[in-house]
Amino acid sequence: MKRLTQKQYQKSLKLSLKSPRENKNLLFNEIAKDVSLWRSVYDKSDKVDSFRKWLKLIHCPSHSHFLGEGYGTTGINKFCGFMSYRYLDLCCAHFHNIDKQKTIADYHDLVQFEAENCYIDFFIRQESLEKDFLTATKKIRPLSPMQKNHVLNAKKVNASKRLLSVGDYYDQETVDLIYDRDKLLINKFGYTAPQIS
């Protein structure tokens, strides 16, 4: 949030001086960043309009350089969302030289790259945390029935609290936007769109 809602001239200048070729536009982008626009969507409320506006800003390729982590300097930001970018960076070999390869021109190339370079055999997913944790542990060592019960019956300590359902925050436009930008993750993990209220 801070990266988007505050100007970070000092950090940008340091990075620009450290790697001028890679960060040639960083300081200019920081000067041009409209922090009031970003602050308007980080209003610490449950406003549906703010959430939808935030989604559109995050997924707009022209804002990709504000998100950091090298996302704005890659050619894939035109057709790949930030969450998919982060996933590829964490889970795929050879991702650091993705632009040097000049082999990823579109979504189909991205899918092929992921299939050939993902080095994760099994994912523990938030939405099926306990079940996936047990499956992953079983690959390493057996668990007793008591240990399994302990995992399955553990109290949730960080449950999100919101006044509205997830489906209340989305409309068809934002559902389509998310699918278009992050379909790599959606298709890989079989995610379904929220039920629009």
Q: What is the pLDDT of residue 101?
A: 58
Half-sphere exposure for 182 (CA within 13 Å, toward CB)? 23
* Domain residue limits, the chain: 121-159
Tell me the CA end-to-end span of the chain in Å, nearest whole number: 28
Give the per-residue pLDDT at 158: 65
| pTM listed for this prediction | 0.82
d(CA 195, CA 178): 14
> Residue 97 corresponds to which amino acid?
N
**How many whole angstroms separate alpha carbon 194 and alpha carbon 115?**
26
What are 135's two structure tokens? 């499956």
**pLDDT for the residue 164:** 83
Give the number of other Cβ atoms within 10 Å of residue 57's Cβ: 18
Cα-atom radius of gyration of the chain, to the nearest Å? 20
Tens of pLDDT along the chain (197 residues)?
Answer: 777 777 776 776 776 677 766 666 766 777 777 878 878 888 777 789 999 999 999 999 989 988 888 888 888 999 999 999 999 999 999 888 776 656 788 999 999 999 999 999 999 998 889 999 999 999 999 989 899 898 888 877 766 667 788 888 999 999 999 999 999 999 999 999 988 87
Residue type present at position 63: H
Kindly state the greatest CA–CA separation across the chain.
59
- The C-alpha atoms of residue 150 and residue 109 are separated, in whole angstroms, by 43
